[in-house]
Amino acid sequence: MKKIVLLGLVVASTAATPALAINRYNALSYTCPQAQALILRERAVILRYPAERVRNMTLYDRFVADRDACDIGFYAYRTYIPTKGDQSCPVYICRPSSDFDHHRIIIP
């Protein structure tokens, strides 16, 4: 009986927690300021954008608001993506600290 009650509590607590889903968007649907605001509002998003070097190839990456959205051992690294009307919109991705190469890091 105790096992059934314990199992019921586990199922109930799992159903009550919100899903930790990350939203996906098309970067070319947003202007640079809109894309940056979207990332800041949601803290982390996956953006889809066209590759520069390979024609008709779509890339996906996780973009973050700041280093607090990165896992331990990672830092926020500035990169650029194409958006509507701007081919080099500055945004941040998470990179391992072992890749530290003196690029800009966000320090709150």
Q: Measure the CA–CA gap between 56 and 23, rounded to whole angstroms.
A: 23
In a domain, residue 104? The reply is no
- Averaged confidence pLDDT in the chain: 83
Would the CA dihedral through 73, 42, 57, 92 be positive or negative? negative
Question: Is residue 7 included in any domain, yes or no?
Answer: no
* pLDDT in the model for residue 68: 95
Residue-wise pLDDT tens digits, 37-53: 999 999 999 999 999 89
Whether 6 is covered by a domain: the verdict is no
Residue 5 covered by a domain: no
Question: Within a domain: residue 92?
Answer: yes
* pLDDT, average across residues 53-81: 95
Q: 57 is in which domain, residue-wise? A: 21-99
pLDDT recorded at residue 11: 53
Beta-ladder partners of 49: 59
12 found inside a domain: no
Would you say residue 90 lies in a domain?
Answer: yes
Confidence band for 21, pLDDT divided at 50, 70 and 90: confident
108 belongs to a structural domain: no
How many domains are contained in the chain? Answer: 1
User: What DSSP letter does each residue of the chain carry, written as one string?
Assistant: -HHHHHHHHHHHHHHHSPP----EEEGGGS-HHHHHHHHHHHSEEEEEEE-SSSTT-EEEEEEESSGGGSPTTEEEEEEEEEETTEEEEEEEEEEEGGG--S------
Whole-model pTM: value is: 0.71
Query: pLDDT exceeding 90 applies to what percent of the chain?
Result: 68
